[in-house]
């Protein structure tokens, strides 16, 4: 705990004060369990079954604790700071810039990325190592940001019902003071949702939104398609990629879906037909 506190404190050193305090709350709550966001949730949840933003953030902290319980943060303050700064710039381009966005690199060789409700985003060290340029990382981070923006994790808990309870029931437990039950249900829900994945249509939507966020942030919007092209060449049997393949539509299907969406937004062309960013650059610099 102390190590990643140091890491995250280092990573927030150059962000603004409001952001820093929000990030610190996140870390504090990982240790303490329920924080001030959950306190706000307690007062509001009695009145409504819907999950409001404080509740969403509180539940996200439980999900983040579950992820960090499985894989710690990578002990590289520079990498943590870099991903945090990049991620925060991207979130400024979105309709929810004031969430307590926090980015982290998990110490894991596999290729994966995760988000929690409320704005915690994690990528693995193995994913970072396999990026060819910053635009690709922007594509991946923006995809995860989109899941948070559109509350895809809450939707999965509501609609799938695989555990026999939804997110509203989880936070309702907190409102009733059943803290042990609240944490137990949140843990089960997090494990289930991260192993089974989100609705496929939500994955396609996250891809489409990611491209727009990247473009707004001044990055090459073809970064995400380039990552998907890389994934096309990977085997689902490769243990570094197996969880990603299990929890997402195939890279082929994602590229097809993006191709349709991007033609109307970015102009037509055969950019997606196996071309790399480098090839495209050559095409335009002849």
Residues in touch with Zn ion (CB under 5 A): 203, 206
CA–CA distance, 18 with 269 (Å, rounded to integer): 44
Tokens of 231: 């994934």
Beta carbon nearer to Zn ion, 189 or 206 = 206
Looking at the Cβ atoms of 56 and 203, the one nearer to Zn ion is 203
Q: What is the DSSP letter of 109?
A: S
Beta carbons of 174 and 42 less than 8 angstroms apart: yes
Nearer to Zn ion, 23 or 112 (CB): 112
Q: Rounded distance, CA 7 to CA 24, Å?
A: 11
Beta pairing, strands 113-115 & 102-106: unpaired
Helix, strand, coil share (%) of the chain residues, nearest 5 = 65, 5, 30
Of 72 and 249, nearer to Zn ion (C-beta) is 249
Q: How far is the CB of 115 from Zn ion (least distance, A)?
A: 8
Nearer to Zn ion, 75 or 247 (CB): 247
3-class secondary structure for 132-191?
CCHHHHHHHHHHHHHHHHCCHHHHHHHHHCCCCCCHHHHHHHHHCCCHHHHHHHHHHHHH
Cα-Cα end-to-end distance for the chain: 53
Alpha-carbon span 84 to 100, nearest angstrom: 12
Beta carbon of residue 203, minimum distance to Zn ion (angstroms, whole number): 5
C-alpha–C-alpha distance, residues 138 and 36, integer Å? 31
> Least distance to Zn ion from the beta carbon of 167, Å?
18
Nearer to Zn ion, 37 or 151 (CB): 151
Cβ nearer to Zn ion, comparing 127 with 206: 206
CB of 149 to Zn ion, least distance (A): 12
Helices then strands, each counted (H, E), the chain = 15, 3
């Amino acid at each position: 705990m102390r190590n990643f506190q140091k890491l995250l404190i280092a990573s927030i050193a150059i962000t603004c004060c409001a952001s820093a305090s929000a990030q610190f709350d996140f870390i504090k709550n990982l240790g303490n369990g329920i924080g001030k966001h959950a306190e706000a949730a307690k007062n509001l949840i009695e009145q409504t079954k819907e999950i409001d933003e404080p509740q969403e953030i509180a539940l996200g902290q439980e999900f983040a604790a579950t992820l960090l319980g499985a894989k710690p943060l990578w002990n590289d303050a520079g990498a943590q700071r870099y991903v945090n700064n990049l991620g925060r710039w991207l979130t400024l381009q979105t309709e929810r810039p004031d969430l307590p966005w926090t980015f982290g690199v998990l110490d894991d060789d596999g290729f994966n990325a995760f988000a929690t409700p409320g704005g915690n985003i994690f990528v693995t060290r193995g994913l970072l190592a396999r990026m060819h340029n910053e635009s690709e990382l922007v594509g991946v981070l923006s995809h995860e940001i989109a899941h948070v923006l559109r509350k895809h994790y809450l939707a999965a808990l509501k609609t799938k019902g695989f555990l026999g309870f939804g997110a509203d029931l989880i936070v309702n437990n907190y409102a009733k003071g059943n803290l042990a039950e609240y944490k137990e249900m949140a843990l089960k829900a997090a494990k289930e949702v991260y192993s089974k994945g989100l609705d496929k249509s939500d994955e396609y939507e996250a891809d489409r939104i990611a491209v727009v966020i990247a473009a707004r942030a001044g990055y090459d919007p073809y970064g995400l398609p380039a990552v998907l092209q890389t994934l096309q060449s990977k085997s689902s049997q490769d243990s570094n990629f197996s969880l990603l393949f299990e929890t997402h539509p195939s890279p082929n299907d994602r590229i097809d879906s993006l191709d349709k969406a991007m033609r109307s937004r970015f102009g037509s062309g055969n950019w997606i037909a196996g071309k790399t960013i480098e090839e495209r650059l050559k095409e335009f610099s002849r």
